[in-house]
Structure 1
């Protein structure tokens, strides 16, 4: 239960923060958020299932609310607050703005840090080796070495923190992959690596009571048995941007790997194992021999795939780069070999790990030549990555499927007529995995977002997350404090064509200029790049000056937009779905938002097709159960671009008649913020 002492502390901290916030206005919605989250974490509603889903409208002060509710509790109960976001932008806001403010003015004694994946850090030892022994890096070039020299100097002069997010200049991806930290090279047991950026960053975790990370890293760490973060029973999780959690989990649990062209690296792996037999001390000989045997086993299991797969290619890729296996039913060959390949690749990985331990022991006892150490570690890392990809794919493909299938399985051919074929698999549902990894072991878990519900209901996210039958789960929807009806309107001009009709784009080109007022800042959102570019070309022919997504970097476009608004000029931004979420244009930076058509996702990706297929197999309607709720959430996100502050105002124009003519239109309109409406039908 939430003790009186903790309640009093929360109230005291809130009072201190109010005094430091300029133009602070009491927000009943924020107080409701604080109380609900605090009671959930304290177990007031359920002793074990301390889980809440919270939708907090724009302007409610969501971040400050969960910090107020959670930090006093974790400090007095020896827990850790882990905040997991979906975007880097929100992580940066929390670490650079919200948490420093809270730390400075709350009166609470705590530390916080940003936790990122290992691959986001450089290994300084590898960076130095690339400069001193470039022959150890087969993909190295003089250009890479010049960039590496500048990087090392920046690190030594403390102008660079050693991570990919604080790079002082552009670094080619190929170079970064050669110098990024990995568990083989950058091992904390090695004295040479104790001051590498990754280990310095990890040292901050033990001294921090608040950790900020992303959802993908959180899931990976939970799957690894809390390799970096504290165990879940000691953590209060706040999953911010919680509407992304299912997609984050699905992406994390998916797998892809090349199906053809393995002979070259398998031959290298065999030669590596043979060289280890010759170079390592006798104590490691058995492990090196066993590795060679396991690689031979894998190659034997792979031979049928290598021999027969080319015969499938013509039938799979007829004028299309992807081929999905209906009901996840693999061809007999792949189905027969999947279990054997999953097992043999796992055995290779086990032997690689054992060999890594033997190499470490040989290094500690100086039984391995110095020049051979880096090469050996580099090869271990390379083969681990290759076999890990294969193991993840074949493990998913080996799982038996029923009807309806619970996986999407497909193959891709990135280049036409290429023999480079990639096998892919993704779970359709992630309820069981989220329960196992997160919801069941967590001390407490709060999911929050500005768009968590779909069509004004929590049923959709509860079902997606697997929480609909779990006792004690709380749901709360807190409306935005903005006076929507007074500050703006939603306008639906009369359209002759639906967006699916041939004449829609021409009508859009004709009608849109009337809804781009002079002297204002407009954002026009499109559902496709093709249509955006068609309309841009037509409007430019009429004399309009436009800032179009894709014609310059996103940040550059936004800076140009801001300059034009500050000079009181008309500024018109054209963007697609990525501009409909996470874009913050407060005040005069956006007064006119145009949504050309409802953001329906066309189920053309193998994953979306498989999800629709599974619903149909169960007698459901994929359009109503999947597409409409997802589109409604995207529409709410898009409309959320207009008002970012309480004093903002403007209008939203939606040029899609389906909101009026289709049965689902009213439910979508009713899910939008309560702007004044002007419907010309």
Structure 2
């Protein structure tokens, strides 16, 4: 429970922040958020299950609300706060703006740190080797790269040693040469003690508030908290939580090639022979065991490859993906799954030992430089390949006959003719329950769009929260005066978006809804349709900024420049422009949504999810497609009003909102704009 002194402290901090913020407006919604989040994390509602699902509309100030409610309480309990976001943009806002502001004006003594994956950091020692011995590493194309300049910028602290703060981005090839991978950049080696990655990790132990992305949070939970504090010592705030189920599915999925594996496995044999000639005799047994495992892996994969070759023509007759109905694999592939999962795991353990021996000998400078670096590179590549195999066969070995809980499919790479196997869990509820919800001290999940069709049931099901009785749900509406500031217009149309003539009608009707004195954003559900309509409208004299014709950044800069000089500006974009795009004030007053953003269930995962619902007697369109589309429509409409003083209109050119039974529920899930329906 919150003590009286803590309640007073939170009120005092809130009061100080109010007086500091320019043009501060009282926000009852924010006050409610602070109070409710504080009650959830302090156990006022449930002593053990401190879990909150909170939908906070645009302008409620949820970032400040959860910092106010969580940080003072966490400090009083000697717990850590872990804030996880789905986008880099929100991470940067928290670390560069929100947390420094809160730290300054709250007068609380706490440290915060941004935690990124190892792959985002450079290894300074590897960079020095590139600079000292260009003849060992450089190709003709990049021999002229100035590594010394980059080293100087690190030493002078203009560059923080990570990929995100580089003044000029590096190509993938150059970055991979200096990335702080675990093989090259060992903390135990004195030369690497002050590498950016190890310095950043040292900050983690001193920080009270840690900002991460969803994928890193999941990776750390799955690895038993190797970076972040233990779950029972952490108060988690998962922002942009509507992304968590999909990110978790991707994280727990696996893929690996099922054909042409002998190529890299034979290369592994040559690498092992080189290591035998280089490393001391004491390592010989380890190397021979690893060689045996690679040979055994090759033997187990060969019958799989023959089986795949027999099915290949039938699977890929007219498409490049083939999904296994009910996750039922071909008999021989299923038989090999368990032995392959075990053998690849065994090979990984042995590879780890070989890598350690090689690293020790390099650290002691007992090996030729060029050869040892090449071998490290080869082992790193080999490790990646075996990890992929282990991940896939582990999932393929799982029983699926009684309850299907995976999507399984194969994909043909037209260029290489490689067949790649895929497995993805249909749900992540059990994983999240086991890794996060069971042990966490408290979990607050928030987003501007957490409900679907005004219900939390869909997200509770996806996250596996139906079985937790202590879950508290809260909807806080935006303070914006939607009915006064904007309206939704649904013009009368002759065709449905599913009809062929719809694109032509769209091209005819759209110019009527592109005012010449305003900033417009037109959202399309199809890239092809966007290009077709853009071509037709340009013939009528309209100047357009179309996604794909320049970078997103360049398009938005041109748009801002047009608006600054009161020129008409029209942006055309697809789904990626309907979320996370911030165009406040006169940067957007006219939003056009061409058609409801229904996702056609064409991906193997979507097909498998629909199949699972049908098997249980459900309706995948109503249970899966309609709620997902409603959520996307809310996100798209959220582009219009970004500040309290903003105003404008939303045009939706899809008659299904009026003519279909699900249309009313979708309309009612939108903010309470004025409505003008021409039917």
Give the shorter-chain TM-score range.
over 0.9
1:81: which partner in 2? 81
Please state whether the residue corresponding to 1:169 is helix, strand or coil. coil
**What is the CA-CA distance between 1:34 and the residue it aligns to?**
0.7
**What is the CA-CA distance between 1:365 and the residue it aligns to?**
5.5
In the superposition, the TM-score normalised over structure 1's length comes to 0.97
**What is the CA-CA distance between 1:359 and the residue it aligns to?**
3.3
Counterpart-to-counterpart distance in 2, 1:184 and 1:324: 37
**1:67 pairs with 2:67:** yes
Q: Deviations over 1:216-249 (max 9, x none)?
A: 0100011111111111111111000000000010
2:116: which partner in 1? 116
Please state whether the residue corresponding to 1:391 is helix, strand or coil. helix
1:510: which partner in 2? 508
Q: Deviations over 1:323-349 (max 9, x none)?
A: 111111111221111111111110000
Counterpart-to-counterpart distance in 1, 2:314 and 2:352: 40
1:616: which partner in 2? 614
- Is the CA contact (8 Å cut-off) linking 1:580 and 1:641 kept in structure 2? yes
Counterpart-to-counterpart distance in 2, 1:37 and 1:146: 55
1:256: which partner in 2? 255
2:293: which partner in 1? 294
1:204-243 alignment runs, 5 A limit: 204-243=203-242
Counterpart-to-counterpart distance in 2, 1:501 and 1:19: 56
Q: Deviations over 1:448-491 (max 9, x none)?
A: 00000000011111111110121111000000001100111011
**What is the CA-CA distance between 1:194 and the residue it aligns to?**
1.2
1:196: which partner in 2? 195
2:274: which partner in 1? 275
Counterpart-to-counterpart distance in 1, 2:259 and 2:632: 39
Question: Taking structure 1 as reference, are residues 322 and 11 closer, same or farther at Cα in structure 2, changes over 3 Å only?
Answer: same
**What is the CA-CA distance between 1:148 and the residue it aligns to?**
5.6
Counterpart-to-counterpart distance in 2, 1:577 and 1:664: 21
**1:3 pairs with 2:15:** no
**What is the CA-CA distance between 1:390 and the residue it aligns to?**
1.0
1:67-466 alignment runs, 5 A limit: 67-134=67-134, 137=137, 140-147=138-145, 149=147, 150-363=149-362, 367-369=366-368, 371-402=370-401, 405-415=404-414, 418-466=416-464
**What is the CA-CA distance between 1:156 and the residue it aligns to?**
4.0
- Is the CA contact (8 Å cut-off) linking 1:404 and 1:614 kept in structure 2? no
Counterpart-to-counterpart distance in 2, 1:338 and 1:111: 47
2:666: which partner in 1? 668
**1:488 pairs with 2:483:** no
1:426-575 alignment runs, 5 A limit: 426-575=424-573
Q: Deviations over 1:297-323 (max 9, x none)?
A: 211111212333222221111231211
RMSD: 1.6
Q: Decide which moves more: 217-226 or 371-380.
A: 371-380
Counterpart-to-counterpart distance in 1, 2:605 and 2:351: 33
2:597: which partner in 1? 599
**What is the CA-CA distance between 1:353 and the residue it aligns to?**
1.4
**What is the CA-CA distance between 1:285 and the residue it aligns to?**
2.5
Question: Taking structure 1 as reference, are residues 145 and 227 closer, same or farther at Cα in structure 2, changes over 3 Å only?
Answer: farther
Counterpart-to-counterpart distance in 2, 1:616 and 1:135: 61
Please state whether the residue corresponding to 1:143 is helix, strand or coil. coil
Counterpart-to-counterpart distance in 1, 2:225 and 2:162: 22
- Is the CA contact (8 Å cut-off) linking 2:183 and 2:359 kept in structure 1? no
- Is the CA contact (8 Å cut-off) linking 1:547 and 1:572 kept in structure 2? yes
**What is the CA-CA distance between 1:136 and the residue it aligns to?**
5.3
- Is the CA contact (8 Å cut-off) linking 1:45 and 1:472 kept in structure 2? yes
Counterpart-to-counterpart distance in 2, 1:352 and 1:130: 26
Please state whether the residue corresponding to 2:521 is helix, strand or coil. strand
Q: Decide which moves more: 262-271 or 336-345.
A: 262-271
- Is the CA contact (8 Å cut-off) linking 1:136 and 1:375 kept in structure 2? no
- Is the CA contact (8 Å cut-off) linking 1:454 and 1:629 kept in structure 2? yes
Q: Deviations over 1:357-380 (max 9, x none)?
A: 333444565554555543343333
**What is the CA-CA distance between 1:422 and the residue it aligns to?**
1.4
**What is the CA-CA distance between 1:605 and the residue it aligns to?**
0.7
- Is the CA contact (8 Å cut-off) linking 2:184 and 2:359 kept in structure 1? no
Counterpart-to-counterpart distance in 2, 1:88 and 1:275: 42
- Is the CA contact (8 Å cut-off) linking 2:55 and 2:446 kept in structure 1? yes
Counterpart-to-counterpart distance in 1, 2:270 and 2:174: 26
- Is the CA contact (8 Å cut-off) linking 2:2 and 2:42 kept in structure 1? yes
2:32: which partner in 1? 32
Counterpart-to-counterpart distance in 1, 2:363 and 2:155: 27
Question: Taking structure 1 as reference, are residues 39 and 429 closer, same or farther at Cα in structure 2, changes over 3 Å only?
Answer: same
Question: Taking structure 1 as reference, are residues 261 and 130 closer, same or farther at Cα in structure 2, changes over 3 Å only?
Answer: farther
**What is the CA-CA distance between 1:152 and the residue it aligns to?**
3.5
**What is the CA-CA distance between 1:153 and the residue it aligns to?**
4.4
Gapped regions of structure 2 (runs ≥ 5): none
**What is the CA-CA distance between 1:381 and the residue it aligns to?**
1.8
**What is the CA-CA distance between 1:414 and the residue it aligns to?**
2.7
- Is the CA contact (8 Å cut-off) linking 2:307 and 2:333 kept in structure 1? no
Please state whether the residue corresponding to 1:177 is helix, strand or coil. helix
Gapped regions of structure 1 (runs ≥ 5): none
Aligned residues: 678
Counterpart-to-counterpart distance in 1, 2:379 and 2:413: 28
- Is the CA contact (8 Å cut-off) linking 1:495 and 1:657 kept in structure 2? yes
Q: Deviations over 1:535-565 (max 9, x none)?
A: 1011100000110000000011001101111
- Is the CA contact (8 Å cut-off) linking 1:411 and 1:424 kept in structure 2? yes
2:53: which partner in 1? 53
Q: Deviations over 1:393-435 (max 9, x none)?
A: 111111121255211111112326x422211111010000001
**What is the CA-CA distance between 1:157 and the residue it aligns to?**
4.3
- Is the CA contact (8 Å cut-off) linking 1:238 and 1:447 kept in structure 2? yes
Counterpart-to-counterpart distance in 1, 2:578 and 2:655: 20
Q: Decide which moves more: 447-456 or 145-154.
A: 145-154
Counterpart-to-counterpart distance in 2, 1:664 and 1:15: 45
2:628: which partner in 1? 630
In the superposition, the TM-score normalised over structure 2's length comes to 0.97
- Is the CA contact (8 Å cut-off) linking 1:113 and 1:211 kept in structure 2? yes
